[in-house]
Amino acid sequence: MKKLLLLFIYLTSYCTIAQSGYPIPDSNPNRLFYIQHSNNHNTYVYDVDINKGLLDSDEPVVAYRIIYTRGGIKADLTGLQRRLAYGVTFKKISSKSCVFTLAAYPEKELFLRISKKGKAYVMVSVNGKNLILNRMFLFSNKTGTKVDCINFYGKDIKTGRDVVEKFYP
């Protein structure tokens, strides 16, 4: 029991370390959310491809990376990143909504919707709370092959308040 308590304290403190010094990607009206991780400042960005208030039928979610370790250049995902980690698989529900998953964790569904005002957003359920997603931060091992904890940042749909939900995959 004592070992379990110590493990819980370690994981809780590890996953609450502030992400100080991490860059924030430039604002974009089509930005859905972005992902950063504990190994470096490179950022994985997800934008919506929207035309006249409707989702692009071929690729409604566009994923790319910003390589801050090389001066902040924008680049496509590598094949490995697309297949194993940051790539997107989606299923269109209507011309204004779809459900999609990330390659690294296909069990977690994300719902893309376009509001009546034409603004796209992503909704996700974390720990029983529904939130509009702004960003994720992954706490991973040194090699980046195992994620210990994910912080989901967004707005609680019920209250409208900013929230951070910790998720242990």
pLDDT in tens, 82-126: 999 999 999 999 999 999 999 999 999 999 999 988 899 999 999
Whether this model's pTM surpasses 0.75: yes
The phi-psi region of residue 51 (left if phi > 0; otherwise alpha if psi is between -120 and 50; otherwise beta) is: beta
Say how far apart CA 111 and CA 53 lie, in whole Å: 16
Q: How far apart are CA 109 and CA 130, in angstroms?
A: 12
pLDDT at 48 over 50: yes
pLDDT one-digit tens code per residue, 16-32: 444 667 889 998 999 99
Coil vs helix vs strand at 51? strand
Q: Which pair of tokens denotes residue 27?
A: 């604002």
Distance separating alpha carbons of residues 63 and 47, to the nearest angstrom: 7
Residues with Cβ within 8 Å of residue 101, at least 6 apart in sequence: 88, 89, 90, 107, 108, 109, 110
Which of 30, 26, 59, 28 lies closest to 43 in space, CA to CA? 26
